[in-house]
Amino acid sequence: MILLKNFLNIFRVPELRKKVLFTLGVLIVFQLGHHIPVIGIDIEKLRHLMSGEGLVKGIFSYLDMFSGGGLSNGVLFALGINPYITASIMMQFLALSIPSLEQLLKEGEYGRKLVNQYTRYLALGVAVAQAMGYATLIQRLDLAVDPNWAFYFIFILSLVVGSVFVMWLGEQISLFGIGNGSSVLIFANIVARFPNDVIKVIGNALNNVISWPTAIIIFACVIFVTACVVFLERGERKIAVQYARRVVGHRMYGGQSVYIPFKINASGVMPVILAGAALNVPMLILPVLASKFGIGMWLAESLARGGLLYNVLEFFMIIAFSFFYMTIQFNPEELADNIKKSGGFIPGIRPGRKTAEFFNYLLMRIGLVGAIYLGLLAIFPAIIHALLDLKFYVTIMNGTSMLIMVGVALEMAAQIESYLIEHRYEGFLSSGRIHSRSSR
């Protein structure tokens, strides 16, 4: 009853009510776009191809998960928010290698707006490239009803316009709704596939394809993964920093103790996305080599999503990308220098170089735990599928999907809770972190 009362408080704050209803309205429009098919494709043949096994499914299953099944259904929003996400990742790497772009990011609101504009242009180019690649696949697999130049022009134009419209919807959520727009749309795509997976598991149990104990184990694994993600995503190591007292004029400053929180998973889902994108390149090249070389076929089958070689490479690449992303986010020398300039110190550790060494040692230990956690989360579905000998893929067991869902849900809950506390209502989550602070 208390949770229901706190939930109803959302609709008693006019500004929050407008944001929530606006977000829901955008998501309805977004889901409608997933039911508008692109003309000229043999949808039944496409679905049969994507539901089977083999290299084609392995290449596109990862992207299909983030598009809410759009690729396998051949709909207007087939590309979804993927081009914008890809462009955002590319801009982050470009900012590391181009000094002028890095300087723009440090120029405040104006610089960020300019970089966002460049990201949109880059996303448009990525959308065109992905649409052309999808059209080429349609041609090679003989899925087009009438394969002529007019079909390909309309097909590519439809997917690009759909992707740009999805990008615009995400920006509207960021401006007028709740949460980060791109993350919310990915969240909606993943959630939209869950009912189908539940029906698929129950249907296979009813048809004796799998046993009922196996179905119960699948749902138990989903609950276990969700609980682990929630627990570890909220986990952090707090480092106490003591500031010395200073007298400036007639006032005394400092003397207090603050904490620097280091999350176990500071990189989020980015290492998983980068590892998946890197592995998609050989998955596209190897099928071509497989027709000429015998070892190429073995490598292609091993690198198919869910294969042994694919999982091993993905695990170690996630660990490597996790450490790489952590070095981008944290600079131990700069952090130690800023603390020293502010008159702070970590109890028991000398300011300056020793503090930087301590941060570096701490980040390596925490980063290793977070990297292994992400790697295991990514390969967990493949392990369960192999142990249970499942003949179908269950999206709800995907650790990456759970990581995105939990992260977005926690972010949205925190925003809603801050609005409620601002208007003197109890927090959306009565035991949440924000509510606990406000009650002290």
Q: What percent of the chain has pLDDT over 70?
A: 79
Q: How far apart are CA 409 and CA 23, in angstroms?
A: 13
Q: Helix count (H) and strand count (E) of the chain? A: 18, 5
Mean predicted confidence (pLDDT) in 96-111: 78
Query: Is residue 229 predicted with pLDDT exceeding 80?
Result: yes
Strand partners, 251: 248
Summary mean pLDDT of the chain: 78
pLDDT recorded at residue 393: 72
Q: How far apart are CA 143 and CA 138, in angstroms?
A: 5
Collapsed DSSP state (helix, strand, coil) of residue 37:
strand
pLDDT tens-digit map of 269-326 = 778 777 776 776 666 566 556 556 655 566 666 666 667 777 888 889 889 888 888 8
> Angle 393-44-156 (CA atoms, 0-180°, nearest 5)?
95
Query: Is residue 438 predicted with pLDDT exceeding 50?
Result: no
Q: How far apart are CA 330 and CA 429, in angstroms?
A: 31
User: What tokens does 161 get?
Assistant: 């316009």
Collapsed DSSP state (helix, strand, coil) of residue 246:
strand
pLDDT recorded at residue 295: 58
Mean predicted confidence (pLDDT) in 47-56: 56
CB atoms within 10 A of CB 423: 12
pLDDT recorded at residue 168: 92
Q: Which element (helix H / strand E) includes 217?
A: helix 212-233
Mean predicted confidence (pLDDT) in 110-118: 84
CATH architecture of 210-390: Orthogonal Bundle (1.10)
Task: Evaluate whether 309 touches 302 at the Cβ level (below 8 Å).
Answer: yes
Q: What φ, ψ does residue 292 adopt, rounded to 5°? A: -110, -30
More confident residue, 245 or 31: 31
pLDDT recorded at residue 172: 92
User: What tokens does 106 get?
Assistant: 């440090």
Mean pLDDT lowest among 6-20, 353-367, 415-429: 415-429
More confident residue, 323 or 420: 323
Annotation: CATH topology of 16-208 = Preprotein translocase SecY subunit (1.10.3370)
pLDDT recorded at residue 293: 60
pLDDT tens-digit map of 139-191 = 777 777 777 788 888 888 988 999 899 999 999 998 898 888 888 888 888 88
The residues of the chain that CATH labels 1.10.3370.10 are 16-208, 210-390
pLDDT recorded at residue 431: 45
Strand partners, 263: 236
Q: Are strands 257-263 and 251-253 parallel, antiparallel or unpaired?
A: unpaired
**Helix intervals (H) in 330-352:** 332-341
DSSP category for residue 425: P
pLDDT recorded at residue 243: 76
pLDDT recorded at residue 440: 39
Mean predicted confidence (pLDDT) in 43-50: 68
Q: Are strands 236-243 and 246-248 parallel, antiparallel or unpaired?
A: unpaired
Q: How far apart are CA 396 and CA 164, in angstroms?
A: 28
pLDDT tens-digit map of 345-401 = 888 888 888 888 888 888 888 888 888 988 888 888 888 888 888 777 777 777 777
Q: How far apart are CA 374 and CA 400, in angstroms?
A: 8
How much is the pTM?
0.75
Q: What percent of the chain has pLDDT over 90?
A: 5
Q: How far apart are CA 427 and CA 6, in angstroms?
A: 7
pLDDT tier at 25, thresholds 50, 70, 90: very high
> Angle 52-57-59 (CA atoms, 0-180°, nearest 5)?
170
Closest CA to 119 of 73, 159, 190, 167: 167
CA-to-CA dists, residue 26 to 19, 29, 161, 342, angstroms = 11, 5, 17, 45
